[in-house]
Amino acid sequence: MKITDLKVLMVNRFMYVKIYTDEGLTGVGECGAWGFLDAAAAAALTFKSYLIGQDPLLIEHHWQYLYRSFHFRGAAIMGALSAIDIALWDISGKYHHAPIYQLIGGRCRDNIRVYYHVGGGTTEELVASCKKAKELGYTAVGHLSPFLDEPRNQPYFETGAQRINRAVDRVRQIREAVGDDLDLCLELHRRMTPGEAISFAHKVEAHTPFFLEDPIKPDNFDAMALIANRINVPIATGERIHTIQEFEMLLSRRAVSYVRTSVCLCGGITGTKKIAAIAEAHDALIVPHNPLSPVSTVACLHIAAAVENFAIQELPDHDGPAATERFVFDKTENVKALKQSDIVTTLPQVTKGFIALPEGPGLGLDLTEQVEERFPYKPRDIYTRLNSDGSICDQ
């Protein structure tokens, strides 16, 4: 079997790679560098010249060849490699008539716990979103920002005391509204300094958050370790990094308890399995990062099925637009409604906060026909929030 073609499909706010073979088998994968999809598309097309004529089943060899072929790396390149890797695993599963998780070690569990995306521009909206998740049967919620999901065109200012105490009080109100029936995965969006994060963690500890995600900018592993070693709430981080060496440095510093592997950014199925093994050696669990489309979700589910040290899976609402569109951009913008289930042939179903293992060979789903024409690509603008003094606000 040989690879005959590689196509990049730009669909709405998503980028896919589809690989074709001379035996009629195809595979699809998704890119996780959602802010730089055009650059990732160019990288994937550069890799195409090598892949044509190759045996698609030599996945590890192709991974190493593409990763080490030039002297450059970065999110756009790794996003392209991840999409290619997932597509190759999809082909391999179809060739062997088995789900991907069967090819990477077999199932470690019968179903997969997920957490539901919640949000709100006010405290009332945020509490109501969490109550809705509980009513829908979920046992955990995430993307839960105690600083709120305010429009990015609104200048930000709070005193240090207001930022910490208001955020803690929102978590208190949520906990009182849902009781202990929901785990609360707090997304802090890099909003704090190390000192502020330590103070916040001590105050919010009473409300038993599942973890604190990215309390500070995640570039400095030593600073993250400083926080982790001085608080009693677990830290989750990792969605912005994408090599096994970076994850090893993060874990060796005891800077993280829940590793946020971006399957569509850190090397696909192949890269994520390696990172999960490193995390296991450090007694850490993985929580795959997934703000993308159902293709990403299903790729994550195969990892969740086959990796013993898996904790919980992030699940965006696939009945609406991309999570990166709903939460990153201004709420007053004209965000065209998109039902993501129209992009793919099947969609994972949630029952009481759990998803059954993927069925069918390979990923177990594909893109629908003429998906590019039906959902034209919409390039992203550079758009971030500012503080009231004009400086950059992380959100």
Active site (catalytic) residues: 189, 289
Decide: 312 and 289 in contact? Cβ < 8 Å.
no
185 phi and psi angles, rounded to 5 deg: -95, 105
Q: 331: which DSSP letter?
A: T
Give CA 295 to chain center in angstroms.
12
Which pair of structure tokens corresponds to residue 363?
Answer: 């990923």
Residues 6+ apart with CB under 8 A from 157: 387, 388, 389
The Cα–Cα gap between 390 and 153 comes to 12
Helix axes 244-252, 221-228, angle to 10 degrees: 40
Residues 169, 213, 11, 358, CA torsion sign: negative
Structure tokens at 339: 């039902």
CA 225 to the chain's CA centroid: 22
Alpha helices in the chain (DSSP H): 37-51, 59-68, 75-96, 100-103, 123-135, 160-178, 194-204, 221-228, 244-252, 268-281, 294-306, 323-328, 371-374
Q: What does each C-alpha distance from 168 to 19, 212, 215, 230, 329 come to in angstroms?
A: 48, 12, 14, 18, 25
Say if CB 59 and CB 270 are below 8 A apart: yes
Q: Which amino acid is at 125?
A: E
